[in-house]
Amino acid sequence: MPESALNFNHNQPVYTVSEVSFSIKRVVEDHFGVVRIRGEISGFKLHSSGHAYFTLKDDNACIDAVCWKGNVGKLRFKPEDGLEILGSGKITTYPGRSKYQIVIDSMEPAGAGALMALLEKRRKQLEEEGLFDPKRKKKLPFMPRVVGVVTSPTGAVIRDILHRLSDRFPVHVLVWPVAVQGEGAAEQVAAAIKGFNEISGAQRPDVLIVARGGGSLEDLWAFNEEVVVRAAAASDIPLISAVGHETDTTLIDYASDMRAPTPTAAAEMAVPVREELRTGLKQLDARLAMAMQRMMAQRQEKLEGLARGLPKPMQLLQVSLQRLDDWADRLQGALPALLARKQQQLAVASAGLRPQAIRTDMNKVNERLKELQQRLQAAGTRYLDTREERLRSMASQLESVNYQKVLARGFALVKDASGTLVTTAAGAKEKPEMTVTFKDGDLKVKPQA
């Protein structure tokens, strides 16, 4: 029989594994109670149940940690590997694996430096992906019809934005209410940005404003989450970020198309000032009216100059009318002469013919001559009518550009005593007496001092 069996004390009590594990668990929990622990997160895993499992470590040791679902939802930041935290909880054991662990009730980054280091690490990662590239930033619309606002439905932020939009340029505003900090805030903000981009038709916003008031780095942490940054970078609608105060900077500011120092400033960036637009339109209208007046004055002066250079229509027609009369006289005299010559030629040719044949031929010739005479007279009449109609058309065209027609449209011709045209108000003041020609006559006037 082995020596160990000879020394075995059969009088010692025998415990089950569960009894031993429970005893160790009670001793550990009674001894430590609630402790605060500092360490770096490693192997962080968020289970489908909502519980978080990870390891806390320092330079010399490590301890397993678990954070139940209810406490995970209360965290103001998203735990991840490499982040140093301060945790509060109870030391306990896990009999299923015969190990000890800490159940974390609450935790926070180990100082602002830890969050800043995590923030800088995430910023560099997203920047390398090109999410902050200035080339991808979109230009804000000059005069949006619809403005979409992603923010908390309560508080001063939404009131400030609505008030400033109403003062500057009232537009249709769509508000997508979200939580701006705490559990699920980042997911809600990202979903709102995506939701606005999925709207089509007249209700689709032309510009988005993502806003919240100021707060600590932990309070603004939702706007540093990747899901929010990626949603902002992927937005087809131009986006203005207005998170925190002027000195606060979050990662959504880098991904947005424009960063506003405050929510009120974001409203000012989104719309122009209506009164300034009205003033600008009035100025443009006045400039247009002055330009039209100058153009009309220049055209009138040019027309008057052209009218002075044109001769009277009757002067142009006198030569043509005289030529027409001459042709008419010559035509009337040419017809009898032509007939006389033809009759003489006929008499000579018929001298040697028989009388009866001559009479018959003469009758045919006379009929033919009468026919030719009628055709010749008709042709001459048509020719004269055509020339006369053409002369009337030319006379009408010349008459339409006559300065008398210009006077009939309301213009007047001003001349001094010597007959020189007066074209300016300054020149008129120097003349002792002037003649103003209207369509129905002249009028003598004297300029007033």
pLDDT averaged over the chain? 82
Please say if the pLDDT value at position 64 is more than 60.
yes
Beta bridge partners of residue 37, listed in sequence order: 87
Over residues 176-201, the mean pLDDT reads: 91
Fold of 12-110: OB fold (Dihydrolipoamide Acetyltransferase, E2P) (2.40.50)
Query: What pLDDT does residue 5 have?
Result: 47
Q: Over 80: is that where the pLDDT of 106 sits?
A: yes
pLDDT at 146: 94
The pLDDT of residue 360 is 67
Cβ(213)–Cβ(244) below 8 Å: yes
Least confident of 90-99, 123-132, 350-359: 350-359
3-state helix, strand, coil in the chain (%, to 5): 50, 20, 30
Q: Between 25 and 49, where is the model more confident? A: 49
Instruction: Provide the pLDDT for residue 67.
Output: 92
In whole angstroms, how large is the CA radius of gyration of the chain? 54
For the segment 203-215, the average pLDDT, to the nearest whole number, is: 91
Rounded to the nearest 10 degrees, the angle between the axes of helix 313-349 and helix 355-400 is: 170
Q: How far apart are CA 192 and CA 208, in angstroms?
A: 10
pLDDT band of residue 1 (cuts 50, 70, 90) is very low
Q: What is the pLDDT of residue 397?
A: 73
- Is residue 255 classed exposed, middle or buried when 0-12, 13-18 and 19+ CB atoms within 10 A define those classes? buried
What is the Cα–Cα distance from 223 to 227, expressed in whole angstroms? 9
In 3-state terms, what secondary structure has residue 21?
helix
264 secondary structure, DSSP code: H
**What CATH number does the domain located at 120-272 have?**
3.40.50.261
Token readout for 52 is: 């978080």
pLDDT digits (tens, 9 = 90+) for 264-280: 999 999 998 888 888 88
Mean pLDDT value across residues 326-331? 80
Whether the predicted model's global pTM rises above the 0.85 cut: no
If you average pLDDT over residues 372-391, what whole number do you get? 82
Q: At 377, give phi and psi (nearest 5°).
A: -65, -40
- Is the confidence at residue 239, as pLDDT, over 90? yes
Strands 62-67 and 99-109: parallel
Q: Tell me how far CA of residue 229 lies from CA of 188, 217, 241, 312, in angstroms.
A: 13, 16, 11, 82
Per-residue pLDDT, 189: 94
Q: How far apart are CA 52 and CA 80, in angstroms?
A: 11
Which of the pair, 419 or 207, is modelled with greater confidence? 207
Q: How far apart are CA 319 and CA 395, in angstroms?
A: 13
